């Protein structure tokens, strides 16, 4: 495995997720550009600044529905806590993001509330994101107003010492006199900002780190509704297990695990109300949902400068292809589909059939295998499916374990 640092991985992926985000397109980028400039003005040290920009670039990742989005884009966010807790719980499995999760947990904290708790509970960076976030929302509400900058400044100024931290406001006031500040809100790019900060938190990643980072990305999609809360997690672990049956090396099985975590990442670009629609999708809706596989490829292709990721990207973006060329997004035929792609495709189908959906209950492994044997295996690989069927008991046990583990974690994220 080639050397990869945290920002080599996180920078391009987070940037790409932001640009595909159906709910909050570019909000993370702009908030990060504002927060970064504020953090520099306040002279945070490099580690604090690095944590600030990573937290800013993911701060609303716990907003999962159109309802959440509509709340957060109001001038006053009435119930901010659910998306703050959800966001911080999503990041929890990645040890390097512990402080970042805590910053996100508190990114709507009011200054007067923070006076009653310790700095550790409400890190200072949370206050920077709080103000940066509101500046972006105020700017986007009134974008044609010629006095927009002044109006935004006045709205913030009216709440200094109550909602906003005075130190953060002072930095904002100082910066607001320069054209550079306002221009950079729209021109700074997330991965560019990551590259500007030379922090020790930007450490060299181990294989385990990459797995944990992929797991937190999978939660962004899986946690959008309780029906899919265990999906990518199960696909990931099942793919790793199937890899063993087909003689893959341990490193290749880990790549399958990562591809499983990331295979549906493109769903970030799809209207979430289509993903948990409690009935059949119209043709037009299905065509929209199908785009997720293409988006997965687009998002992950930001990593294609790293040779190590090429197989992972290929498997992930092709998980809905079929051997007769009738799949999507590329309509590739059997000659272009390797064993890894087929493993992921089988893991995806088996996991999905064994999960509850709004329109049906979860199926037993026996029924799921019967459906696949009769209707689906010939589109992927009947021979491979025969091998998979021989391991039914072990697969069943793994899926039950994955679902129980993830649903427990998901429940914690939705408890407030
Ligand atoms: Fe927020
Ligand atoms: Fe926000
Ligand atoms: Fe998919």
pLDDT bin (cut points 50, 70, 90) of residue 117 is confident
Query: Measured between alpha carbons, how far is 158 from 151 in angstroms, rounded to an integer?
Result: 11
Distance 90 CA to ligand 2 centre (A): 16
Cα–chain center distance at 148: 32
Second-level CATH architecture of 6-196: Orthogonal Bundle (1.10)
Residue range 188-208: mean pLDDT, rounded: 92
Specify the CATH number of the domain 212-413.
1.10.3210.10
pLDDT at 77: 87
Residue 85 has pLDDT above 90, yes or no: yes
Ligand in closest contact with the CA of 82: 1
Residue-range domain boundaries for the chain: 6-196, 212-413
Distance 357 CA to ligand 2 centre (A): 30
Distance 291 CA to ligand 2 centre (A): 26
pLDDT at 321: 98
Ligand in closest contact with the CA of 71: 1
Residue 290 has pLDDT above 90, yes or no: yes
Residue range 358-383: mean pLDDT, rounded: 96
69: nearest Cα among 113, 17, 28, 103: 28
The number of CA neighbours under 13 Å toward the Cβ of 279 is: 2
Residue 326 has pLDDT above 90, yes or no: yes
Distance 371 CA to ligand 3 centre (A): 18
Residue 22 has pLDDT above 80, yes or no: yes
pLDDT at 415: 81
Ligand in closest contact with the CA of 296: 3
Residue range 71-79: mean pLDDT, rounded: 87
Ligand in closest contact with the CA of 68: 1
Residue range 333-344: mean pLDDT, rounded: 97
pLDDT at 279: 83
CA angle 297-218-32, nearest 5°?
80
* 246 close to 384: Cβ distance less than 8 angstroms: yes
Q: Which phi and psi angles does 93 have, rounded to 5°?
A: -70, -15
pLDDT at 142: 75
For the record, the structure tokens of 191 come out as 């991965």
Distance 108 CA to ligand 2 centre (A): 9
Distance 28 CA to ligand 2 centre (A): 7
Ligand in closest contact with the CA of 352: 3
Query: Measured between alpha carbons, how far is 262 from 363 in angstroms, rounded to an integer?
Result: 24
Q: What is the pLDDT of residues 209-241, one digit of tens each?
A: 999 999 999 999 999 988 899 999 999 999 999
Tokens 């009738």 belong to which residue?
326
213: nearest Cα among 200, 225, 203: 203
Average pLDDT over all residues of the chain: 94
Distance 127 CA to ligand 1 centre (A): 12
Distance 73 CA to ligand 1 centre (A): 9
Length of the chain measured in residues: 416
pLDDT at 369: 98
Distance 213 CA to ligand 2 centre (A): 22
Residue 280 has pLDDT above 90, yes or no: no
For the record, the structure tokens of 62 come out as 């716990």
pLDDT bin (cut points 50, 70, 90) of residue 120 is low
Query: Measured between alpha carbons, how far is 358 from 364 in angstroms, rounded to an integer?
Result: 17
Residue 146 has pLDDT above 80, yes or no: no
Distance 41 CA to ligand 1 centre (A): 22
Q: Which chain residues have CB less than 5 Å from ligand 2, an ion?
A: 60, 133
Distance 30 CA to ligand 3 centre (A): 29
Distance 201 CA to ligand 2 centre (A): 24
pLDDT at 2: 77
Asked whether the CA dihedral 16, 407, 351, 283 is positive or negative, the reply is negative
* 22 close to 268: Cβ distance less than 8 angstroms: yes
Query: Measured between alpha carbons, how far is 290 from 328 in angstroms, rounded to an integer?
Result: 7
Residue 122: CB atoms within 10 A of its CB come to: 22
Please determine whether the domains at 6-196 and 212-413 fall in the same fold group of CATH.
Answer: yes
pLDDT bin (cut points 50, 70, 90) of residue 270 is very high
Distance 379 CA to ligand 3 centre (A): 16
Distance 399 CA to ligand 3 centre (A): 18
Q: Which phi and psi angles does 227 have, rounded to 5°?
A: -65, -35
pLDDT at 11: 92
The whole model's pTM is what? 0.95
Residue 144 has pLDDT above 90, yes or no: no
303: nearest Cα among 165, 202, 188, 210: 210
Distance 3 CA to ligand 3 centre (A): 30
pLDDT bin (cut points 50, 70, 90) of residue 158 is very high
Distance 63 CA to ligand 1 centre (A): 8
Distance 231 CA to ligand 1 centre (A): 26
More reliable by pLDDT, 225 or 400? 400
pLDDT at 108: 96
* 71 close to 164: Cβ distance less than 8 angstroms: no
pLDDT at 256: 98
Residue 145 has pLDDT above 90, yes or no: no
263: nearest Cα among 345, 193, 144: 345
pLDDT bin (cut points 50, 70, 90) of residue 359 is confident
């Amino acid at each position: 495995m080639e050397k990869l640092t945290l920002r080599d991985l996180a920078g391009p992926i987070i940037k790409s997720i932001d640009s595909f985000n159906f709910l909050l397109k570019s909000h993370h980028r702009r908030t990060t550009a504002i927060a970064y400039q504020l953090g520099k003005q306040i002279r945070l040290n490099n580690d604090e600044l690095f944590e600030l920009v990573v937290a800013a670039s993911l701060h609303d990742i716990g907003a999962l529905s159109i309802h959440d989005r509509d709340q957060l884009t109001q001038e006053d966010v009435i119930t901010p806590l659910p998306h703050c807790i959800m966001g911080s719980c999503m990041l929890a499995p990645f040890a390097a993001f512990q402080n970042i999760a805590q910053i996100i947990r508190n990114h709507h904290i009011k200054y007067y509330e923070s006076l009653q708790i310790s700095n550790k509970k409400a890190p200072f960076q949370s206050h920077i994101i709080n103000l940066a976030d509101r500046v972006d929302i105020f700017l986007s509400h009134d974008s044609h107003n010629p006095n927009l900058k002044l109006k935004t400044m006045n709205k913030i100024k009216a709440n200094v010492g109550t909602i906003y931290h005075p130190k953060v406001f002072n930095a904002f006031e100082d910066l607001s006199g320069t054209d550079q500040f306002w221009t950079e809100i729209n021109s700074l790019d997330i991965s560019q900002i990551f590259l500007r900060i030379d922090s020790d938190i930007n450490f060299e990643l181990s294989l385990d780190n990459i797995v944990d980072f992929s797991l937190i990305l999978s939660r962004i999609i899986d946690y959008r509704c309780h029906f899919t809360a265990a999906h990518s997690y199960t696909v990931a672990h099942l793919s790793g297990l199937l890899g063993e049956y087909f003689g893959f090396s341990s490193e290749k099985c880990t790549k399958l695990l990562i591809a499983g975590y990331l295979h549906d990442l493109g769903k970030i670009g799809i209207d979430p109300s289509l993903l948990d629609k409690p009935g059949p999708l119209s043709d037009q809706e299905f065509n929209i949902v199908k785009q997720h596989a293409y988006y997965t490829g687009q998002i992950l292709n930001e990593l294609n400068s790293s040779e190590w990721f090429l197989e992972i990207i290929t498997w992930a973006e092709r998980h809905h292809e079929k051997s007769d060329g009738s799949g999507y997004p590329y309509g590739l035929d059997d000659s272009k589909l390797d064993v890894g792609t087929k493993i992921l495709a089988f893991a995806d189908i088996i996991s999905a059939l064994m999960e509850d959906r709004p329109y049906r209950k979860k199926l037993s492994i026996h029924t799921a295998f019967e459906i696949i044997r009769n209707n689906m295996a010939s589109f992927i690989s009947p021979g491979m499916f025969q091998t998979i069927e021989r391991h039914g008991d072990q697969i069943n046990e793994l899926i039950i374990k994955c679902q129980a583990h993830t649903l427990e974690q998901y429940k914690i994220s939705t408890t407030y």
